[in-house]
Amino acid sequence: MKVNIQTPNFAAKDELLAFVEGRLSKLEQFYDRIIFADVFLKVQKTSEKENKIVEVLLSIPGDDMMVKKEAKSFEEAIDDVVKALERQLKKRKQKQKAYL
């Protein structure tokens, strides 16, 4: 799976980029036909503490999955996104098994 990370309006550190790639690579355990993942790391300019936004577009054959989460840190938001995608991929795999 290829991971494209975009960080508009700020420069992300290498540790954060490695963290994102590491977390997303674990999704291949649940669904092995993932083509690529587009990741958008954004900082919202508000007075709220939860101003880090992570959007992930997962491209898989036949359909795409999009998940967007907000949190206090990018790491927390990435964890939430990966959990949501994990659930969606498991559901998709179950549906495919039902048709076989």
Return d(Cα 2, Cα 73) in angstroms, integer: 24
Confidence check: pLDDT of 99 > 80:
no
Mean pLDDT of 12-38: 92
pLDDT value of position 100:
65
| Three-class DSSP labels, 69-96 | EEECCHHHHHHHHHHHHHHHHHHHHHHH
Domains and CATH numbers, the chain: 2-99 (3.30.160.100)
Q: How confident is the model at residue 39 (pLDDT cuts 50, 70, 90)?
A: very high
Q: Is 80 exposed, middle or buried (0-12, 13-18, 19+ CB in 10 A)?
A: middle
Predicted TM-score (pTM) of the model is 0.88
In this structure, which amino acid lies at residue 53?
A: I
